[in-house]
Structure 1
Amino acid sequence: KQLPNLAQQLFTDSLNGARTSIEGDLNNHATKAAQDLRKASREAMQAAQSIREETKALDWKHAFMTVGAVLGACMLLVLGATLLIPSLDDAAERRATVKELNNAGGALQTANCEGELCARVMTKQCGFGSSKDYCVLDLKD
């Protein structure tokens, strides 16, 4: 008579032991998973903060590079204008020289020869001056 009760009691004890063991294992796994999630959350927050800091630093670098490029381009324009465009004094001096030559006796024929001022000369009447590099001008009549 007691055998069925004893079997039922053993089965119930076994079931309760298994349930307790499973619940303990689940609690251990849940605790470990929660710890892992907290750690991953902290690491994600640190990564987000690092990204914010790098973004701020990159904004300054980008602004510095942009301002530097604009200033460099302006400096190149000013330098190019200084070197390539003749000054007002140079232009006035050239006009005075041409006017003086025209007043010296006849109209001087001048031209622009690849960016240089050229004058018409008689090539067969050259070799004058101490360095022999003067020629007689061929004036318009």
Structure 2
Amino acid sequence: MNNSIDSVIHQWSWKLIAIVLGAFTILMLAMTWLFVVYIKPLGNIPQIESLRQQGIQFDIGSCTVGEESKTCVRVMKKHCGYGKNGDFCVIDPK
């Protein structure tokens, strides 16, 4: 009788450990997926900080283009067409 109780406790402890580890793994995978999908790309941060250190303040956000999330900045639409190819706009300052 005592042996069977120890056996059951031992089986339940392994099942509980497996369930907890499985839930933890699923949680970590879900958090990683959320960061990859919903967090802005980190590649633009050095350029943004460089502009801010120069005293240039602007509104930056995330825009959905098709199904992809892209970094966007607020511009003055009436002040576009600058640059060699006419594809630059003036940033709308804060």
Please classify the TM superposition score into its range, dividing by the shorter chain length. Answer: 0.3 to 0.5
- Is the radius of gyration larger for structure 1 or structure 2? 1
Higher relative contact order (CA 8 A, sep 6+): 2
Which is richer in helix? 1
